[in-house]
Amino acid sequence: MSRPVPSRPEGFVPIASYAALGDGRTVALVAEDGRIDWWPLPTLDAPPGFAAIVDPPSGGYVELTPEEPATVERRYLPDTNVLETTFTSVSGTVRVVDALAVGRSGRLPWSELIRQIEGVEGSVDLRWGVRPGSRFETVRPWTEQKRGAVLLHLGDQNLAVRAFDAGEPQVDGHGVSGSFTTSPGSRSLVAISSSDAAPVFASGRGDVEAHLAVTLDRWQEWSSSVHYDGRWSQPVRRSALALKLLHFADTGAVAAAATTSLPERIGGDKNWDYRYMWVRDTSFTADAFLGLHMHEEIQSVVNWLLAAVRRSGPGLEIFYKLDGSTPDSERQLRAPGYRGSQPVRSGNGAATQTQLGCYGDLFDTVLRYVEAGHLLDPDTGRMLADLADRCCDIWPTEDAGIWELHTERHYTISKMGCWVALDRAVRLAEMGEIAIGHAGRWAREADEVRAWTNEHCWSESKQSYTFYAGTDDLDAATLLAASTGFDRGERLAGTVRAVRQELGRGPLLYRYTGMEVEEGCFLACSFWLVDALTELGRLEDACTLMDEAVALANDVGLLAEMMDPADGAMLGNVPQALSHLALINAAVRLDGQLPEVVPGLVEVEVAVPRLHRP
């Protein structure tokens, strides 16, 4: 639907205003007004040359927007991550197609942003500009002109800007801009090529148009390999395309999100750098890629994970850089933050934590891979056997939990994760994929973990699994007992009732007790609840919630990390891999349980308030 082009109070637009472009190396975020406010180069985890999303005064942006008031309507071209934006003003209509280009044999040896502008009706006055930022006050951009191209220099990064039928470029000391007027059938182009400490490939007009055509073809070809035609086909396929944006082609890692420091509450300090791959997410990733028959992606993810674990052993890191190395220390950057939410961070301090649930995530990933018919090598089998022994030794200890909290406790979801690790280790041994020598120990310890958790992490008063041992507080992550198989009986049913009652806000859920004043609702939790309802056989209830949850995406189908239940505003980093992974997995599992005709309405056990959407 058409909406007014958003205004920018203090330089910001809503997080839901962003669409994403990607080329297998980096991601650019395009707002509804046509401005690109985030584009790290050359890779997603590099210091961003364009970061106005968290630093409007000096972060840098790429602009292309109407000079007059207009409405906007957007979509991704079918089965692609190529964005089409249509602006309509009183004087005319113009269509903009945006892409990060890819090559015929994969990603290009350089980065190239393409903006194609087509006049549709009447005339529209447009302005454009490329103004790199200071990389958080560490460099100062400067310009020069060479043989028809404008070169922008940002430290060792070089950008070539070419404009075709887009007005005469106006160059100043730190950027380039232009303006022009469209007419019916007019075609203009603005292209930006980038390289780091290397020559810059400055594409001619014919090259740019060819690159755009190849990019469209490559995305549509890739999309044809995604196999899902169930009830939620459109959001599932869009989620698969969103994950592909976050899939780092060089190594196989899938970044948790494309951004850093977008807040979980406006004005709050929960602003984290998510440009890493979490071991926690690999199990969800493996499930989604296998469920959609994304064979190349699952192999690359498993290869990346096992190589990273092998390099960093003997234990597990919580997350790894996209190249598989151990994370950098966390730094606070000089930037005002999104709508004043500080600090802005590079790196993630959770890297030093202990999270026992990672063992379950690793072993569950490997088991899903093996159950799909694939085979482990001997070195991996030996490494996993050693890690299973280590899990036996450390499961009784406290940790930071799945939510990476500063207070270490006996978190319920961590104990469940240790049970998953040992259960999967036994099953892998029975399949002959890892050494069976200690399988008896793993089985006994798994039984002890389950017994300890059922005794110490259960609330009789709430009839629910708890947040941690010795409390009656709740944690929505315990809903994962359903998908992992830790519990699919009466205790799971009680947990569903209690979690919906205490943490639910319409189709949304807070992560755990007491979060209403600190952050929004965590979108993945809604899909975890769908999984739990599916395992309990409450299919009509699961379908209703699934329909409501997929409708929470923005106009182009993307999900952030969180949402404010009061007004539906997106919060946190975007696009968020875990949100899209949870959507895919819930849809595939639920579809697998649905009969051809769903039985009559199953009464919802708990009345929950509806989410108000403006």
Q: What single DSSP character describes residue 261?
A: -
Question: What mean pLDDT do residues 19-47 have?
Answer: 97
Nearest Cα to Cα of residue 152 among 50, 55, 57, 26? 50
CA angle 14, 52, 103 (to 5 degrees): 95
Q: How high is the pLDDT of residue 605?
A: 40
Residue 102 above 50 pLDDT? yes
E strand spans, 279-388? 319-320, 331-333, 344-346
Full 3-state SS string of 532-569: HHHHCCCHHHHHHHHHHHHCCCCCCCCCCCEECCCCCC
In the predicted structure, residue 609 carries a pLDDT above the cut 80: no
Q: What is the pLDDT of residues 177-186, one digit of tens each?
A: 999 999 999 9
CB 403 within 8 A of CB 415: no
pLDDT at 454 over 90: yes
Domain layout of the chain by residue ranges: 3-218, 463-614
Query: Exposed (0-12), middle (13-18) or buried (19+): which is 161, by Cβ within 10 Å?
Result: buried
Q: What is the mean pLDDT of residues 95-118?
A: 94
HSE, side-chain direction, 13 A CA sphere, residue 543: 18
pLDDT surpassing 80 at residue 575: yes
What is the tens place of the pLDDT at every residue in 152-187?
A: 999 989 999 999 999 999 999 999 999 999 999 999
Helices (H) and strands (E) in the chain, counts: 13, 28
CATH code of the domain made up of 3-218: 2.70.98
Report the C-alpha gap between 75 and 62 in whole angstroms. 20
- Comparing C-alpha atoms, which of 182, 149, 152 is closest to residue 167? 182
Evaluate whether 143 touches 174 at the Cβ level (below 8 Å).
Answer: yes
Whether the predicted pLDDT of 606 surpasses 80: no
- Which pLDDT belongs to residue 601? 39
Q: pLDDT (tens digit, 9 = 90+) per residue, 43-64?
A: 999 999 999 999 999 999 999 9
* Mean predicted lDDT score pLDDT of the chain: 94
Distance CA 112, CA 191 (A): 7
**Chain-centroid distance, C-alpha 467:** 25
Mean pLDDT of 466-479: 98
Residue 545 has pLDDT above 80, yes or no: yes
pLDDT of amino acid 300: 95
pLDDT of residue 596: 64
Q: With pLDDT > 90 as the criterion, what percentage of the chain qualifies?
A: 90
With 80 as the cut, is the pLDDT of residue 247 above it? yes
pLDDT at 435: 85
pLDDT above 70 covers a percentage of the chain that reads: 97
Range in 135-139, 364-368, 544-548 the model is least confident about: 135-139
Mean pLDDT of 308-319: 88
Give strand ranges (E) for 173-252.
176-181, 187-196
Is the predicted pLDDT of residue 313 greater than 90, yes or no? no
Question: Which of 20-24, 79-83, 116-120, 604-608 is least confident?
Answer: 604-608
* Single-letter residue type at 417: G
Question: What's the mean pLDDT in 375-391?
Answer: 95
The answer on pLDDT for 196 being more than 70 is yes
Where do we find the tokens 């800007």? Answer: 161
**Could you tell me which residues are beta bridge partners of residue 95?**
86, 118
pLDDT at 429: 97
Question: Looking up tokens 């790429």, which residue turns up?
Answer: 62
Specify the pLDDT at position 296: 93
| Rg of the chain over all Cα atoms, to the nearest angstrom | 25
105 pLDDT tier (thresholds 50, 70, 90) = confident
- pLDDT mean over 27-31: 98
Per-residue pLDDT at 147: 82
Alpha carbon of 139 to those of 31, 47, 49, 180: distances in Å? Answer: 25, 11, 9, 31
- How many Å apart are CA 534 and CA 541, to the nearest integer? 8
Q: What is the mean pLDDT of residues 34-44?
A: 97
Does the pLDDT at position 404 exceed 50? yes
pLDDT at 315: 80
Indicate the pLDDT class of residue 461, thresholds 50, 70 and 90.
very high
Q: How confident is the model at residue 303 (pLDDT cuts 50, 70, 90)?
A: very high
